A and B are shown apart, each in its own frame.
Chain A
Amino acid sequence: MDGTALLTITVLAVFVGFEVVSKVSSTLHTPLMSGANAIHGIILVGAIIVAGQAADSWVLAVALVAVVLATANLVGGFVVTDRMLHMFHAKKDTAKARAVEPKGGGK
């Protein structure tokens, strides 16, 4: 892909990024940060490409470290965000039943 096309895509992505989160409430700052964190774990795709093209053993070793780190970012990020959001969700369901079972639900 040529340079101007990449530049176009980059600039458009900046605007989408700004627009998408411009009105977020402080209640969701933490899950949003954590979710965005998970998304940049997609560097895993880059790490896989580099590891897959490695000819030297030291290049492969460094690339595999990158794969491990990127996977940790990607998998861990999505799992942690889901756990956080699960709590918001669980509460909604149990809000009515709460008087009967104050410590239940949530898990």
Chain B
Amino acid sequence: MSLLDPVWTSLLYLAAAVCFILALRGLSSPRTARRGNLVGALGALIAVVTVFLSARLDNIPWILAAIAVGSAVAAPVARRVKMTQMPQLVALFNGVGGGAAALVALLELAHSDNPWVRVAIVFTLLVGAVSFAGSGLTFAKLQELMTTRPVVFPGLPVVMSAVLLAAVAAGVAVVVTGSLPLAVLLLALGLAAGVLLVLPVGGADVPIVISLLNAFTGLAVAASGLVLGNVLLVVAGTLVGASGTILTRAMAAAMGRSVAGILFGAFRGGSTAGSTAVSDRPVRSSSAEDVAVLLGYAQRVIIVPGYGLAVAQGQHTAAELALALEARGIEVDFAIHPVAGRMPGHMNVLLAEANVPYESLKEMGEINPEFKTTDVALVVGANDVVNPAAKTSSGSPIYGMPILEVAEARQVVFLKRSMRPGFAGIENDLLYQPQTSLLFGDAKDSLAQVLGAVKAL
């Protein structure tokens, strides 16, 4: 028996849905983003309280215990994770959401006589499983539990086609028969498809795949809403599916590629042939003191941060260096590539953590014309986002990606750990140019040495 009148139930679900719409709208503007997120959380709270008050539920102690377990695991992880590891955590949360949607659909199969409901169940099972397995694999790639390079084996397109055909056949069979073992088989095929989908995606493109899988999970949730006849799930899932699709396309555009190219580019071969060999061409390496002199007597310096800065936790030192240079009357800006870091917009989050003010963070379109009049471009742990191969070498995996035009600056200084190529696995010709010098070492240590030397000037 329910405590709440069905009309009130519907109205409360409507209120939750409105909260989600406001949350997404709030999240698309910096001023309202945090409030938007809290409104979204409020909507979720309303919805969960409503389901307890309205539906006829058994096993309530068990359910509450499961909610407690889920919260007890997720909240501390979410609170403690390093900002640099944020992308893989987002991938993981997305995956478990997809997994939950697939399990809900599996259990609803027993109650479904309507073939249309079974179609929705089959869709949720397949998409949820793809999202779960695909997200798991992106997590492994970002956490560097496995190689970040595209993994392609000769029979991959054949295997992928076979899995998809089998999934379609199993899906049709489930719709016709409603058989549970076949549904479990479909789930397994979905998991395999998720793995096969993400394996050939190379490191730099992984964030876009996370966004795509996020949209997939939204669609799976919407379909499970159709199965359960729950309007809130339909609305929330559809919202995420639609906004996730837009976001995926925006991110892909920021990197100058198509979503299909990212997913299936590796199948065409050739495009993944990033060089792993280290060239033996000479480079000009430099000392911290040399770099400090270059910076200290410049008029205009642009710092180009990349993932190397993030892993070394060097953002605070970089912010201090910028302050020290500004104190000498030097104009300093940070040039932020849209995909610097491991996720679009990730670098902004990291530099915000170090209290670098908004005005100093310049986006690519804004800063690119300024490199020509810049004395020193200081590239800290970035490689792919400044690689001129993106403009000049049509065979390169990053060809077509808009880059920061560091090569235009009078002097370029790279702070790098080694000559190993970057995330995309390709060499950067800029390292061998006459105006370039390199300071080898951990980004944070190197920055601290340069900072010390600047202060001693």
Contacts and interface: CB of A to CB of B under 8 A. Distances in A.
B71 A71 contact: yes
Contacts of A74: 44, 70, 97
Interface residues of B, number: 116
Contact of B44 (A21, A41, A83): A41
B355 A95 contact: yes
Contact of B244 (A33, A48, A106): A33
Contacts of B100: 43-44, 46-47, 66-67, 69-70, 73
B345 A102 contact: no
Interface string A74-91: 111111111111111111
B226 interface: yes
Interface of A: 1, 3, 6, 9-10, 13-18, 20-54, 59-60, 62-92, 94-95, 98-99, 102-106
Interface of B: 16, 20-21, 23-25, 27-30, 33-34, 36-38, 40-41, 44, 47-48, 51-52, 55-60, 62-63, 66-67, 69-71, 73-75, 77-79, 81, 83, 86-87, 89-90, 93-94, 96-97, 99-101, 103-104, 106-108, 110, 116, 210-211, 214, 217-218, 220-222, 224-226, 228-247, 250-251, 254, 316, 319-320, 323, 336, 338, 343-346, 348-349, 352-358, 361, 363
Nearest to B237: A40
Contacts of A27: 30, 336, 345, 348, 361, 363
A40 to B, nearest CB: 5
A45 B230 contact: yes
A51 B51 contact: no
Nearest to A98: B355
B7 to A, nearest CB: 13
Given A30-B344, A48-B63, A103 B316 contact: yes
